[in-house]
Amino acid sequence: QKEVEQNSGPLSVPEGAIASLNCTYSDRGSQSFFWYRQYSGKSPELIMSIYSNGDKEDGRFTAQLNKASQYVSLLIRDSQPSDSATYLCAVNVGGSSNTGKLIFGQGTTLQVKP
């Protein structure tokens, strides 16, 4: 069983719509969750981090965390063609022991169509 799972997509949404990206994880002790955006051929870029249950908003991005369900999501409002990329979910391992290690999902490819 994969430790961090994402639907590989592609997820296709029209410009201006809300894109919803989902991630589940297996380590119940995980405390920190991250979303990275990766354009084709480029390096991952950190866009959101979340540590507590609930929602965290940053501009057009909202991260949602539900530790009981082991589920983290990323909502992108007013999607733009420039949001077309692969979105990687990353989860820390080791719980309260800071191992410094992240496990990454395979990523979801988002396509925003004009």
Partner 1 sequence: DADVTQTPRNRITKTGKRIMLECSQTKGHDRMYWYRQDPGLGLRLIYYSFDVKDINKGEISDGYSVSRQAQAKFSLSLESAIPNQTALYFCATGITWGYTDTQYFGPGTRLTVL
User: In terms of CB distance, is 21 or 79 closer to partner 1?
Assistant: 21
How many residues bind partner 1, per CB under 8 A? 27
Distances (CA, A) of 31 to 16, 39, 61, 79, 86: 32, 27, 20, 29, 23
| Residue 102 engages partner 1 in binding (rule: CB under 8 A) | yes
In angstroms, what is the minimal distance from the CB of 81 to partner 1? 23
In angstroms, what is the minimal distance from the CB of 43 to partner 1? 4
110 token code pair? 């988002």
| Residue 108 engages partner 1 in binding (rule: CB under 8 A) | no
Size of the chain, expressed as the number of residues it contains = 114
- Rounded CA separation 80/1 (Å): 34
- Rounded CA separation 99/110 (Å): 31
Residues that bind partner 1 (CB under 8 A): 8, 31-32, 34, 36, 42-46, 49, 51, 88, 90, 92, 94-98, 100-102, 104-107
